[in-house]
């Protein structure tokens, strides 16, 4: 459930200056820490949060930052909160300091 808070905070920072009557726009939600947020959950919460704020027609994409193992250096392609280990060597993946999810406006709200 902490993913909902991370997504909500990220979206609210991005849309705080949007007009209350505006619709549309496009956002990009970046998962910075795949050990604390999963793409499906981020998309689920983003749609609900945008609708709650009156921006249900706003589109968004979810992208993930690369996660490299601190032990072997390999790219961990399947990192998720449910499986926060390196698929190559089994070492725990490092958490990224700061927010797990960030949001930026790609196209402005109309």
Domain boundaries, the chain: 2-15+23-107
pTM for the predicted model, two decimal places: 0.85
For residues 56 and 51, what is the distance between their CA atoms, to the nearest angstrom?
4
Per-residue pLDDT tens digits for 56-91: 889 999 998 888 888 898 887 666 888 888 888 989
> Average pLDDT, stretch 90-105?
91
Q: Three-class SS string for 1-14?
A: CHHHHHHHHHHHHH
> Average pLDDT, stretch 81-106?
89
The CA distances from residue 25 to 15, 29, 102, in Å, are: 10, 13, 17
Name the average pLDDT for the chain.
87
Q: Tell me if 3 sits within 8 A of 42, measured CB to CB.
A: yes
């Amino acid at each position: 459930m902490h993913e909902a808070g991370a997504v909500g905070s990220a979206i609210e920072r991005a849309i705080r200056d949007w007009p209350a009557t505006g619709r549309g726009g496009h956002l990009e939600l970046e998962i910075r820490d795949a050990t604390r947020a999963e793409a499906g959950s981020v998309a689920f919460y983003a749609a609900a949060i945008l609708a709650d704020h009156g921006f249900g027609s706003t589109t968004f994409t979810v992208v993930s930052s690369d996660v490299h193992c601190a032990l072997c250096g390999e790219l961990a392609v399947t990192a998720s909160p449910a499986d926060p280990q390196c698929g190559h060597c089994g070492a725990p993946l490092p958490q990224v300091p700061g927010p797990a999810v960030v949001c930026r406006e790609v196209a402005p709200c109309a």
